[in-house]
């Protein structure tokens, strides 16, 4: 089933074992290590302004500029430093909210998998 098919019906996905596809990471974002990112879009609004999916990153340190996002960590652990803001320690079962434009540094201690909803 594709993300477009899922716009038409309700569905369930077992997140811990869902198959993910590679999502290239901009080398300029890598601070240290050799992190690998994979993901899967589960649903996208017809106007493309809302996206729900699964995202995973292996250990390392990366920087990012965030979207307006709510996510729940399924597995793994990371420290997320928000420039000019708080430092978030996240692990299995934790929910976090990132604001659009937040500049972050992610230190991924254990491969982290999350389910997310982004407003663009």
- Residue 13 located in a structural domain: no
120 pLDDT above the threshold of 80? yes
Q: Is residue 30 part of a domain?
A: yes
How would residue 3 be classed by pLDDT, with cut points 50, 70 and 90?
low
Please check whether residue 53 lies inside any domain of the structure: yes
Model confidence pLDDT, tens digit, residues 78-109:
999 999 999 999 999 999 999 999 999 999 99
pTM of the model: 0.92
Asked if the structure places residue 82 within a domain, the reply is: yes
Q: Which domain, by its residues, includes 30?
A: 19-119
Residue 106 falls within a domain, yes or no?
Answer: yes
Is beta strand 50-57 parallel, antiparallel or unpaired with respect to 30-33? unpaired
Place 9 in a pLDDT band, splitting at 50, 70 and 90.
confident
When pLDDT is cut at 50, 70 and 90, the band that residue 7 belongs to is: low
**Looking at the domain assignment, is residue 10 inside a domain?**
no
Domain presence at residue 7: no
When divided into structural domains, the chain yields a total of 1
Q: Tell whether 11 is covered by a domain.
A: no
Does pLDDT of 1 surpass 50? Answer: no
The total number of residues written for the chain in this structure: 120
Q: How many CB atoms lie within 10 A of CB 46?
A: 8
Contact between 115 and 15 (Cβ < 8 Å)? yes
At 65, which CATH number? 2.60.120.10
């Amino acid at each position: 089933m594709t993300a477009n098919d899922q716009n038409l019906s309700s569905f369930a996905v077992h997140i811990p074992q869902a198959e993910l596809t590679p999502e290239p990471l901009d080398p300029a974002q890598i601070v240290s290590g050799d992190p690998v990112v994979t993901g899967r879009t589960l649903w996208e609004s017809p106007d493309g302004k809302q996206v729900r999916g699964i995202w995973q990153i292996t250990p390392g340190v990366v920087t990012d500029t965030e979207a307006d996002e709510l996510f729940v960590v399924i597995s793994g652990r990371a420290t997320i430093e928000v420039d000019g803001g708080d430092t978030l320690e996240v692990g299995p079962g934790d929910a976090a909210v990132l604001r659009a434009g937040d500049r972050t540094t992610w230190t991924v201690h254990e491969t982290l998998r999350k389910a997310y909803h982004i407003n663009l």
